[in-house]
């Protein structure tokens, strides 16, 4: 857990981690997914999907990544 995650958990409780783990970041190139939490981020009380460019995790190929919540 990094500083941001510790801070958010302290403010909002353990639900932050639970919810952040339900949010996945999928690589648009190979389909590899990581949870937002595992990538060192948080996502809480959010909805919808979003797209962001990047190459972190998975294959390392630059592509659009899709962030979505598990149903
Ligand atoms: Zn990939």
Q: What is the pLDDT, as a whole number, of residue 20? A: 97
Q: What is the pLDDT of residues 39-63, one digit of tens each?
A: 999 999 999 999 988 776 668 888 8
With pLDDT > 70 as the criterion, what percentage of the chain qualifies?
96
Q: Calculate mean pLDDT across residues 28-35.
A: 92
From ligand 1's centre to the CA of 35, what distance in Å? Answer: 14
What pLDDT does residue 23 have? 97
Q: Which residue would you say has higher pLDDT here, 28 or 2?
A: 2
Q: Which three-class secondary structure string do you get for the chain?
A: CCHHHHHHHHHHCCHHHHHHHHEEEEECCCCCEEECCCCCCCCCCCCCCEEEEECCCCCCCCEEEEEEECC
Q: Residue 35: what pLDDT? A: 95
36 alpha carbon – ligand 1 mean position (Å): 15
CA of 69 to the centre of ligand 1 (A): 18
């Amino acid at each position: 857990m990094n500083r941001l995650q510790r801070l958010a958990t302290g403010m909002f409780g353990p639900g932050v981690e639970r919810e952040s783990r339900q949010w996945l970041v999928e690589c648009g190139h190979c389909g590899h997914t990581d949870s937002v939490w595992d990538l060192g981020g948080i996502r809480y009380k959010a909805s919808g999907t979003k797209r962001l460019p990047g190459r972190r995790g998975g294959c390392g190929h630059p592509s659009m990544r899709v962030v979505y919540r598990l149903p």
